[in-house]
Chain A
Amino acid sequence: AQSVAQPEDQVNVAEGNPLTVKCTYSVSGNPYLFWYVQYPNRGLQFLLKYITGDNLVKGSYGFEAEFNKSQTSFHLKKPSALVSDSALYFCAGLSGGSYIPTFGRGTSLIVHP
């Protein structure tokens, strides 16, 4: 069984401040973890993924995510938020060999000028 949780429906941050969007997972075996972003009236776009290796994964638009096995977390981070980062963010995960990723419920990130 696999599940992904995003505990925050909404995150508010001021422009220029660091941001964190949280994700925890429950996946059997070695997890494959992903972050996607959805801008208004658009489909989801891939941001970054963790398959194996370094716990800090760097992705598009200056985003990065830290894989923490002991805490079963994969939080999305960015050192300095932009207003244009405002969007809906989805965490997804699956176990090795599975075809079907499980998505979290999404977190709305609002960056205030």
Chain B
Amino acid sequence: NAGVTQTPKFQVLKTGQSMTLQCAQDMNHEYMSWYRQDPGMGLRLIHYSVGAGITDQGEVPNGYNVSRSTTEDFPLRLLSAAPSQTSVYFCASSSDPGRQNIQYFGAGTRLSVL
């Protein structure tokens, strides 16, 4: 099993550019989520999905869009990158969000916005 795969691992953008961070999981998990990790801030939830076709906002959704057309994929789109979006982004998936809720994380995407 590959688990949760994130691409790219590193990305540098200019202010105003758009891009999509890819996330795919091969564990047939219904629940997927995106977090950003900043020094001293821990993990903050951006968006999450409880199944294909269902998404919702987390703590810091502004400037990001998501869609969930399949169970496997949960891409995160930056509409117009800003320096404040420089961060490390993690995708996670879980099979049973209500009780067991063990989350499996990807290796992360390190994004710099100049």
Chain A positions within 8 Å of B33 at CB level? 100
Question: B44: shortest Cβ distance to chain A, in Å?
Answer: 8
Q: Let me know if B34 is at the binding interface, CB within 8 A.
A: no
A105 to B50, CA, bound (A): 24
Q: A105-B40, A106-B42 known; A100 and B103 CB under 8 Å?
A: no
Interface string of B19-37 (1 = CB under 8 A from A): 0000000000001010100
8 Å CB interface, A4-53 against B? 9, 32, 34, 36, 41-46, 49, 51
Q: Determine chain A's interface SS by DSSP, over half rule.
A: loop
Asked whether B50 lies within 8 Å of A99 as measured between CB atoms, the reply is: yes
Interface residues of chain A, those whose CB is within 8 Å of chain B, are 9, 32, 34, 36, 41-46, 49, 51, 90, 94, 96-101, 103-106
Can you spell out 21 A-B residue pairs with CB atoms less than 8 angstroms apart? A32-B99, A32-B101, A34-B101, A41-B107, A41-B108, A42-B108, A43-B92, A44-B105, A45-B105, A46-B102, A46-B104, A49-B101, A94-B101, A98-B98, A99-B31, A99-B48, A99-B50, A100-B48, A101-B103, A103-B42, A104-B42
